[in-house]
A and B are shown apart, each in its own frame.
Chain A
Amino acid sequence: MVTAANISAQPVWQILATVTDPEVPVLTILDLGIVRDVNMVDGQVQVTITPTYTGCPAMDMISMNIRLALIENGYSNIKITTVLSPAWTTDWMSEEGKQKLQQYGIAPPNAKQAVCTPDSFQEEEAIQCPLCKSYNTKMISQFGSTACKSLYQCNECKEPFDYFKCH
Chain B
Amino acid sequence: MNQNLIDYTLHLADTTLILAQRNSEWCGHGPILEQDIAITNISLDLIGQSRNFYQYAAALINLPITIGTANNPADLATEDSLAYLRTEREFKNLLLVEQPNVDWGQTILRQFYFSVYQLYLFQQLQNCKDEQLAAIATKALKEITYHVRWSSEWVIRLGDGTAESHQRMLAAIEELKNYTGEFFIAAGYETPMGIDFALLKQQWEEKTKAVFEEATLPYPEKTFNQSGGKTGTHTEHLGYILAEMQYLQRTYPGAEW
Interface residues of A (CB under 8 A from B): 51, 53-57, 83-85, 87-88, 116-122, 140-145, 147, 151, 165, 167
> At the interface with chain A, which of B87-95, B100-108, B141-149?
B141-149
Are A55 and B47 in contact, CB atoms less than 8 angstroms apart? yes
- Bound form: Cα–Cα A53–B47 in Å: 11
In the assembled complex, the Cα of A84 lies from the Cα of B119 at a distance in Å of 18
Chain B residue numbers with a CB within 8 Å of A116 are: 142, 145
In angstroms, Cα B36 to Cα A144, docked, is 10
Within 8 A of A (CB), among B130-165: 131-132, 134-136, 138-140, 142-146, 148-150, 152-153, 156
A142 to B142, CA, bound (A): 13
- Please state if B156 and A54 are interface contacts (CB–CB under 8 Å): no
Docked-complex contact A118 and B34, CB < 8 angstroms: no
Stretch at the interface among B2-10, B37-45, B194-202: B37-45
B140 touches A54 (CB 8 A): yes
A119 with B149: CB separation less than 8 A: yes
Complex CA–CA separation, A85 to B52 (angstroms): 13
B125: Cβ under 8 A from any A Cβ: no
Q: Taking the nearest CB of chain B, how far is it from the CB of A46, in angstroms? A: 19
**What distance in Å separates the Cβ of B170 from its nearest Cβ neighbour in chain A?**
20
> In the complex, what distance in Å separates the CA atom of A121 from the CA atom of B153?
7
Chain B contact residues: helix, strand, loop or mixed: helix
Complex contact B38–A141 (CB within 8 A):
yes
B48 at the interface (CB under 8 A from A): yes
* B48 near A56: Cβ-Cβ < 8 Å: yes
B111 at the interface (CB under 8 A from A): no
CB atoms of B34 and A140 under 8 A apart: yes
**Docked complex Cα distance between A117 and B152 (Å):** 12
Instruction: Tell me whether B227 is interfacial, beta carbon within 8 Å.
Output: no
Complex contacts, A53 vs chain B, CB 8 Å: 45, 48, 143
Known interface pairs A143-B38, A147-B44; A87-B146 also in contact (CB < 8 Å): no
What is the minimal beta-carbon distance from B64 to any residue of chain A, in angstroms? Answer: 22
Question: Contact between A143 and B42 (Cβ–Cβ < 8 Å)?
Answer: yes
List the A residue with the shortest CB-CB distance to B141: A87
CB of A147 within 8 A of CB of B37, answer no
For A140, give the chain B residue with the smallest CB separation.
Answer: B34
Residue B121, interface by CB 8 Å: no
Hey, which chain A residues are within 8 Å of B140, CB to CB?
A: 54
Further pairs besides A55-B46, A87-B142, A151-B34: 20, Cβ < 8 Å: A53-B143, A54-B136, A55-B47, A55-B49, A55-B51, A56-B48, A87-B138, A88-B139, A118-B119, A118-B149, A118-B152, A120-B149, A120-B153, A120-B156, A142-B150, A143-B42, A143-B146, A145-B37, A147-B48, A167-B143
Cα–Cα, bound, A53→B45 (Å): 8
A109 to chain B, nearest CB (A): 12
CB distance from A167 to the nearest CB of B (A): 5
Please tell me if the beta carbons of A54 and B149 are within 8 angstroms of each other in the complex.
no
Return chain B residues, CB-CB under 8 Å to A118.
119, 144-145, 148-149, 152
